[in-house]
Chain A
Amino acid sequence: MKRLLPLFVVLFVLALYVEQARSQPTRSPQIIQLFRPVVAKSAKSTVRVLAGDKEAALGVVISKDGWILTKYSELKGNKLTVKFIDGKSLDAELFGWDVPNDLAMVKVDAADLTPIEWTDSTISKAGHWVASTGAGEDAVAIGVVSVPAREIKGAKFTPPSGGGASGYLGLALDLDFAGVKIQEVFKDTPAQKAGLKADDQILAVNKEAVAGPEEFLAILSKNKPGDEIKLTINRDEKEQDFKVTLGTRPGNKGGKSRADMQNSMGSKLSDRRAGFPVILQHDSVIKPSDCGGPLVNLDGKVLGINISRAGRTETYAIPSEVVRPLLEALKTKKEAPKEPIKKKT
């Protein structure tokens, strides 16, 4: 057997030679080129938005007369310029913005732009190709729908106050319970130290009532390690208050969790990655500055607007069906009125 080994190795190396030519990554330039006809139409309605002299985002033309939708949080109060696919460049002015969806409307002085045509994102299912249109011939990224549009319950965006990790409690919730009930309290965690127990029902955080796990998590995520919170608990039909000093998630190094570290491996992420009420998730690897542009399916239909490079495996788009109803309100110079998110029927 030992004598056969060298031959085996040679065969193995030869096999790799043969197969090598085929080991073309999915996102190779050759494959991205195939999407040129797919993005051609929407590219005519896609612009590059510069904040100061920095490429901040992409934008989508929504009307002939110069209204352009883009990603809000990348603009950062700078002087805005919009560059068109034909090289033309125009000054732009910020009008309305919508913080939950991170969308902003800018206006340029023009009369003959090509507006985008929207399609409901529901036509594309998990596993279907998507291309992220840029202000050029090639797509800025390609991938597939990872999860079709879904509502993120309890999504609430609060601007980060100095960044850093959110506080850690150390418990697990009962997902089947209509409310917030503790299923397990982990050992040596702030929750255990505070005296919380399995089957405790959490009624309120800092006197703010919580109806479900998502809401509870959304409130908790605003707190930092070291913060003290007051939980109102129903234990054996008696209401009690518990003070908990939040800790740091085990395994966190320098305020960065292991999950944060893994997510930042391999690609640059957007600053804003959470709090969007409805998202379509895809596996394309886009640059943060390429958010704000259209996401199209293989037929070139516009499913929505890319809004965040959110993690190693995920890029988010705001679906067309969420974007469209916002457009009119964004044409006034103020933050768009907050409307309750429509429940799916």
Chain B
Amino acid sequence: MTRLPRVIFLFITSVSVASFILLVSSAVAQDVKQPEFKAPELKPLVDKLPASFYKKTPENVEDLKSIQDHVDKLVEKVTPSVVSVRIGASSGSGVIVTKDGFVLTAGHVSGAPNRDVTVIFHTGKTAKGKTLGGNHGIDSGLIKITTPGDYPVADMGDSSEVKAGHWCMVIAHPGGYRQGRAPVVRLGRMLNTGATTLTTDCALVGGDSGGPLFDMHGRVIGINSRIGQTMLANMHVPVNPFRDSWEKIAKGDVFGGKLGTPAVKTGGPYLGVQTTPNVDGCVILAVTPGSPADKAGLKPNDVIRKFDGKEITAAPELSKFVQARKAGDQVLIEVLRGDEKLSIKLEIGKR
């Protein structure tokens, strides 16, 4: 049986009937040595955010107004660093982080090294580029703009500072570059922070891949990577693990396993859900088709409250409970579907 991917990568192949691609004509292979990557430094955080951002949730229209005034300035500041990238018939997004034109993107966007890239700026102007390497284990990749220039950059953030509940913003090119359309803004909040994945409610779709997730200081904290079946399942590569290997990526190395395969061992106990914690338990963001969870009838938006009688209060707990079982074990899962409480029998599978 073919198993559908548990998450969907956001790279678009052949966007429209005639993808608007500006191909690098006369792709003269330049005999220049690999451009030197000077990793951008983290800027110390000095500016405090308006008080509304430190509240658990905005409390009134004034708070919303203060968020809006701040976001207004951020959009203007960071938009020039956002680019659309075209590689062959495919289309993704990226963000410029060095003045000489290193562009962060997703590993599944840059793909193989040394491919021709057309970089399209927010103004519609274009430049030529080449793909460098990628870490497919976490889905990070780099592109270098080869047309000489002094490019607008975004500051780098520290994803270890990012907490659930923080406000964040995606600016990228869903559906690929569209003539006359500015990069598309989405505002949301951090829902879940993992070592290799940030989950937000900034809605993503194909073409957004590789585009930046900004914090409210306008710093890049993540790179758009993939989505699940609900509006709350938008996944980004955190920049810290990205930074750990970006010098290697800049040299054109491709590593980190096969594209799109989760970095987990096969054979272990397996449920087949992606979740994020909420106040009631653990919300299912995505159910892998054909998985034990799917067969048992679990659905996106179900809230898992109990696993074999044990209360679930955080997502890692669910994972811990599952890992403590073996394939073939029968368990009883209590879920909340809307207002309805359901008890669902499920057989643990093998990954």
Contacts and interface: CB of A to CB of B under 8 A. Distances in A.
Contacts of B187: 26, 127, 143-144, 283
Nearest to B60: A34
Interface in B13-33: 13-23, 25
A59 interface: no
Nearest to A249: B14
B91 to A, nearest CB: 10
Contacts of B331: none
Contacts of A251: 13-14
B61 A38 contact: yes
Contact of B72 (A127, A170, A259, A311): A127
Given A127-B72, A283-B185, A313 B190 contact: no
A217 to B, nearest CB: 6
A250 B15 CA distance: 10
A216 B17 CA distance: 10
Nearest to A279: B181
Given A258-B13, A262-B10, A285 B203 contact: yes
B232 interface: yes
Interface residues of B, number: 80
Contacts, number: 223
Given A127-B169, A170-B14, A312 B57 contact: no
B233 interface: yes
Nearest to A176: B22
Contacts of A211: none
Interface in A143-186: 143-148, 150-153, 166-176, 183-184, 186
Nearest to A128: B68
A125 interface: yes
Interface stretch (A14-22, A65-73, A87-95, A233-241): A14-22
Contacts of B22: 172, 174-176, 183
A173 B175 CA distance: 17
A314 B181 CA distance: 13
A37 interface: yes
A220 B18 contact: yes
A267 B71 CA distance: 26
A173 B18 contact: yes
B332 interface: no
A250 B14 contact: yes
Given A22-B164, A283-B186, A151 B180 contact: yes
Interface in B206-247: 206-208, 227-233
A64 B64 CA distance: 33
B20 A147 contact: no
Interface stretch (B144-152, B257-265, B312-320, B337-345): B312-320
Complex A-B, nearest 4 residue pairs according to Cβ-Cβ distance, in ascending order: A22-B165, A172-B21, A23-B164, A184-B23
